[in-house]
Structure 1
Amino acid sequence: MRILKIIFWSVWRIWFYILLGVPILIMFPFLFISILKESWYPYFFRMARIWAKVILYGMGFYYTLTKLQQPEKNKSYMFVANHTSMMDIMLMLCVVKNPFVFVGKMELVKIPLFGFFYKRTCILVDRNSSKSRFDVFERAQKRLSQGLSICIFPEGGVPDDQTIILDAFKDGAFRLALEHQIPIVPLVFYDNKKRFSYRFFSGSPGIMRAKILPFVTTEGFTLDNRKAIRDTTRMAIYKELLEEQYEPVAKANKLTT
């Protein structure tokens, strides 16, 4: 049985990289045209959402979205979520309709085809370079001034320890949101770690649930409040993940009493 699982996981993971590249090849002329001007980014974003859905459905995933608050059209937001899987990018693109720009790590540029467009459309950060971190703020400010939103995974990466429910948040997303007085939109991805973690021999097709939590306002607050805003956002996501983790135990205890 273990051998069959290893064969499945190997084929499945290879299939993921095929799905990653084939839609880009098919849409390449249109994608390339859409990145020639920054003002055309919303067209690129629409195609990126199609690409994300092809990958999700092609991998055997389907998603559900619960909204406790609805983002408005033509308004800028700071979207943040817990980060546990490569599928977080795809799921974020699927569930958020407001055109946004990712702030992401430099290493993903190395992925063939994907890296070509990733480099030209996302805001890249080298976390070991203070200059790079400063450049991120400049580029993000420019994108926000164009009416776009920003998406950051504030943990700064996927924790190596798989037992960590939610790692500490870095300040960048909250500083940007405060400087521009835009609402912070916390999202919770419940199943991505279980469905498609960074461990090669793991995962399975199935549901990927997402929830948009009530927005965290920044209006009237200053940079002096960034730690409080950051901790409020993190706690909202953490509570959801913690309740999800212990809900099956609570149900089992209720059945036995």
Structure 2
Amino acid sequence: MRFFKYIFWILYRVWFYILVALPIIVLMPILIVSILKESWYPFFFKLARFWAKFILIGMGFNIKIQREQIPELSKSYMFVANHTSMTDIMLMLVAVKNPFVFVGKKELAKIPLFGFFYKRTSILVDRSNPKSRQAVYLRVQKRLKQGLSICIFPEGGVPDESVILDEFKDGAFRMAINHGIPIVPLTFADNKKRFSYTFFSGGPGQMRVKIHRFIKTEDLNIKDTQLLKENTHNLIFNELQIFDKNPKATLSAE
């Protein structure tokens, strides 16, 4: 019986990469055109949302979304969530309809096919380089002026699977305060169970996400970064514990 589980997990992982690559290959000409000008990014974002939903549904994930508050399309936000899986990027794209730009580590740009578009549409950061962090701030400022939002996974990476939620870095919260945009916390309840970085694990099933009420920043200053970070961390951590105690609890479907 264990042998067949290993076979399933191998095929399941291979299937994931097929689903990642297939829409990119089919839509390659349109995707390339959509990234030629920054002003065309909202169109690229719509294609990215289709790509993400195609993958999640193809993997057998039943997406459930609960929204305590709905972002306005005319405003900019800082979207943050816990990071446990390769599917976090896809789920964020499906859960959020506002065009946003990812801020992420530069290593993701090395992934074949995906990395080509990721490098040209996201804001890459080298956390070991102070000049890189300054450049990120300026690029975020430019994107916000274009009416876009920003998305950061504030743990700064994927923690060990025994860790419920790692400590948050300051970047997302410092930028949100500096630009006066609300924090929108999201809790991803099942991504670790469905498709973690452990190769022999995962499977189809419910994939729940909760979009919490926004946290305002316009009355805060840079000295409030730590408190804002801790409040957001506690909110997501507590929600993860609630989901953990109710693994079969359902949310409204997308």
- Quickly name the TM-score band, shorter chain normalised: over 0.9
Aligned to 1:130: 130
Aligned to 1:84: 84
Q: What is the 5 A alignment of 1:203-242?
A: 203-242=202-241
* 1:235 partner letter: N
Cα deviation 1:68-126 (Å, max 9, x = unaligned)? 11111111000000000000000000010000000111111111111100000000111
Rg larger in structure:
1
Aligned to 2:251: none
Aligned to 2:58: 58
* 1:27 partner letter: L
Taking the aligned partners of 2:202 and 2:23, their CA distance within structure 1 comes to 23
Aligned to 1:178: 177
Aligned to 1:140: 140
Cα deviation 1:116-145 (Å, max 9, x = unaligned)? 000000001112222211211111111011
Percent identity for Structure 1 against Structure 2: 64
Q: Secondary structure at the match of 1:75?
A: coil
Tell me whether 237-246 or 50-59 shows the greater mean CA deviation.
237-246
**Gaps spanning 5+ residues in structure 1: where?**
252-257
Cα deviation 1:164-189 (Å, max 9, x = unaligned)? 11000000000110011000000000
* 1:190 partner letter: A
TM-score (norm 2): 0.95
Taking the aligned partners of 2:62 and 2:144, their CA distance within structure 1 comes to 31
Q: Secondary structure at the match of 1:202?
A: coil
Q: What is the 5 A alignment of 1:156-167?
A: 156-159=156-159, 161-167=160-166
Q: Secondary structure at the match of 1:16?
A: helix
TM-score (norm 1): 0.94
* Number of corresponding residues: 248
Q: What is the 5 A alignment of 1:96-111?
A: 96-111=96-111
- Say what the alpha-carbon RMSD is for the aligned residues: 1.1
Q: Secondary structure at the match of 2:184?
A: strand
Aligned to 1:154: 154
Tell me whether 126-135 or 57-66 shows the greater mean CA deviation.
126-135
Taking the aligned partners of 1:30 and 1:48, their CA distance within structure 2 comes to 11
